[in-house]
Amino acid sequence: MLGLMLVTFIIGRVMPIDPVLKVVGERATQAQYDAAYQAMGLDDPLIVQFLNYIRDVIEGDFGRSISTGQLVLNDIKRVFPATVELATLGTLIGVFVGVPLGVIAAANRGGIIDQVARVLAIVGYSVPIFWLGLMGLLIFYGILGWVGGPGRQDIIYTGMVPTVTGLLLVDCLIAGDWGAFKDAFSHIILPASLLGYFSLAYISRMTRSFMLEQLSAEYVTTARVKGLSERAVIWGHAFRNIAIPLVTVIALSFGSLLEGSVLTEIIFSWPGLGQYVTNALLAGDMNAVLGGTIVIGTCFVALNLLSDLLYRVLDPRSS
């Protein structure tokens, strides 16, 4: 976290954007400029500025957004749940499809399922997500009308569901509004499926690799010689031993979707953190950009820590 804050601090200082002008405007007098310069602490030595920056970040103070006029922390609280909801659903799709696909592909190495899984992984890594997003909108929304269009909800449902968690699907369930839930689901399913496909490609590939290593181990041969069924060997022995590295893969995949959904959010006009940071960057709003960067970095650190804590639970040697 200290390294992350150091990097974001340096980025904020080397960017060719004058933060004072963004606050006071280009028509401000020199006296107004100097007063704002001192008020922002930019006349202090860099080490003092960095220590003040660390203090502010720890206190949750990312400054005020020039674009919205609100505190960056309040903006992030408003937009981040939309990104979390999208990334969570995408990760669930990736896990519940990618893990079984990787296991079955490894168990039938060289077979048709293995070939299909490898092709899906290659396509998932190769095809740009913005192209898939545009094609998805054209086909499933524009032509077939199976899903909702861009945005998180149709305008008729906007503001109808009270915000409790910020996760729209959950809030719709809490409110018992099934019409709003159906509408929200129709909007999220396509972008979540695209993110889920990219997550699936990574997770299935890693699962297959882990399983191939375990299935070639001596204990698997011993289990088969003892007469255990192939299902018991694969799911009861080999799969249990890949649970630990698989946790890390899933955690990193979730973190990647949190920070890598920028293009998806832009294409689908999804009001999440990725779109917020992108708009802030285009407007030269560095407080918002750096605040969003720190939040995503914190999520990565927390996910890695969670993976480490789960190791003891999933490690067969600890049972």
Q: How much is the pLDDT for 109? A: 87
Residues 128 and 252 in one domain: yes
Judged by DSSP in three states, 165 sits in: coil
- Give the integer Cα–Cα distance in Å for 92 and 89: 5
pLDDT tens-digit series, residues 279-319: 888 887 888 888 888 888 888 888 888 888 887 776 656 55
For residues 142-158, one letter each, b for 16 or more C-beta atoms within 10 angstroms of the residue's C-beta and e for the rest, the string is eeeeebbeeebbeeebe
Please, what is the average pLDDT of the chain? 85
Question: pLDDT above 70 covers what percent of the chain?
Answer: 96
Domain extent, residue 46, equals 2-58
Domain co-membership, 88 together with 205: yes
Query: What residues contact 12, with CB distance under 8 A and at least 6 apart?
Result: 19, 286, 290
Q: What is the DSSP string of 51-114?
A: HHHHHHHHTT---B-TTTSSBHHHHHHHHHHHHHHHHHHHHHHHHHHHHHHHHHHHHTTTSHHH
Is 121 a domain residue?
A: yes
Q: Is residue 73 part of a domain?
A: no
Q: Do 21 and 160 fall into the same domain?
A: no
Let me know if residue 66 belongs to a domain: no
Same domain membership, residue 113 and residue 32: no
Q: Average pLDDT for residues 8-13, to the nearest whole number?
A: 78
Q: How many domains are contained in the chain?
A: 2
For residue 232, count other CB atoms closer than 10 A to its CB. Answer: 14
Confidence (pLDDT) at 244:
82
Q: What is the mean pLDDT of residues 188-209?
A: 91
- Residues 49 and 87 grouped into a single domain: no
- Do 186 and 233 lie in one domain? The reply is yes
Do 148 and 48 sit in the same domain of this protein? no
Asked if residue 53 and residue 84 are part of one domain, the reply reads no
Same domain, yes or no: 53 and 90: no
> Distance (Å, rounded) from C-alpha 268 to C-alpha 248?
29
pTM: 0.84
Statement to judge: residues 214 and 254 lie in one domain: yes
> Are 124 and 17 in the same domain?
no
Does residue 70 fall inside a structural domain? Answer: no
CB 24 within 8 A of CB 32: yes
89 & 159 share domain = yes
Give residue 38's pLDDT: 78
Among residues 116, 300, 316, the alpha carbon closest in space to that of 205 is found at: 116
* Token pair 């400054």: residue: 63
Q: How far, rounded to the nearest angstrom, does the alpha carbon of residue 179 sit from its chain's CA centroid? A: 27
3-state SS, 235-263, equals: HHHHHHHCHHHHHHHHHHHHHHHHHHCHH
